[in-house]
Amino acid sequence: MSKNRVNSVDSADPAAPDLTLRGVQVFRGWLDAADQAALVEDLRNVAQAAPLFSPMTPYGKPMRVRMTSAGRKGWVSDRRGYRYADRHPGGGDWPPIPKRVLDIWHGITGLDRMPDCCLINYYDAGARMGLHQDRDEADFAWPVVSVSLGDDGLFRVGNLTRGGTTESLWLSSGDVVVMGGAARLIYHGIDRIRPGSSTLLPQGGRINLTLRVVD
């Protein structure tokens, strides 16, 4: 899990991406098949303690993805808005972020400060995620790291403000994306997934992990 290492002024030992799209860094195949399978097992344990739920947007529309979180904070959405919560909507603490996930964060960013939240999004065959910014965190100096597992997802990247042209690329199982620096607040989303493109998840679909420092 430590290919492509180079030095940079931003952190002690960050990794070098395979490609950059509008400042968004893409690390192809960061996780091999064995890493991916082990990670899915970790996530199953998280979802057993903190079950996936279907959030509402603040506008009263159900979101197409199901989600849960691990970490000190979990990301939730309902009529009161988008925010971080100390507890699962059904009650109970969020489980700790699995070590394997923290290792991805550290291996990619080189940062010693660990994320507070690992948001787990599950996309079934028809799920998508509209263009949005990740902006519920206190300090945008910390990067966002995002891990793709299972079926391919068509990732769309826009601009730092709403509107304008966009560009897309397919993310595959094991790819890791970083939105940091000037791209920290870039608009992004998932147009659709490609059902059946991966055999990692027996029931199909796509999992995305989003790792963030919250406060």
> Which residues sit at the interface with Mn ion, rule CB under 5 A?
134
* Region from 16-24, 32-40, 49-57, 148-156 binding ligand SIN, contact rule CB under 6 A: 148-156
Pick one of 98, 115, 153, 205: the residue that binds ligand SIN (CB under 6 A): 153
Amino acid at 180: G
Shortest Å, Cβ 51 to ligand SIN:
19
Q: Does residue 155 belong to the site contacting ligand SIN (CB under 6 A)? A: yes
208 binds, among ligand SIN, Mn ion, none (CB under 5 to 8 A by kind): ligand SIN
Size of the site for ligand SIN (CB under 6 A): 10
Q: Does residue 184 belong to the site contacting ligand SIN (CB under 6 A)? A: no
CA distances 181 to 22, 75, 184, 185, 214, Å, are 11, 22, 5, 9, 16
Shortest Å, Cβ 133 to Mn ion:
7
Give the relative orientation of helices 99-109 and 33-49 as an angle to the nearest 10 degrees.
130
Q: What CA–CA distance (Å, rounded) separates 189 from 118?
A: 17
Q: Does residue 101 belong to the site contacting ligand SIN (CB under 6 A)? A: no
Amino acid at 188: H
Can you say whether the dihedral through the CA atoms of 7, 13, 17, 23 is positive or negative?
negative
Q: Does residue 146 belong to the site contacting ligand SIN (CB under 6 A)? A: yes
Token readout for 82 is 């988008």
CA distances 100 to 118, 158, 192, Å, are 12, 30, 27
Q: Does residue 156 belong to the site contacting ligand SIN (CB under 6 A)? A: no
Cα 56 → chain centroid: 19
Would you tell me which residues interact with ligand SIN (CB under 6 A)?
121, 129, 146, 148, 153, 155, 188, 190, 208, 210
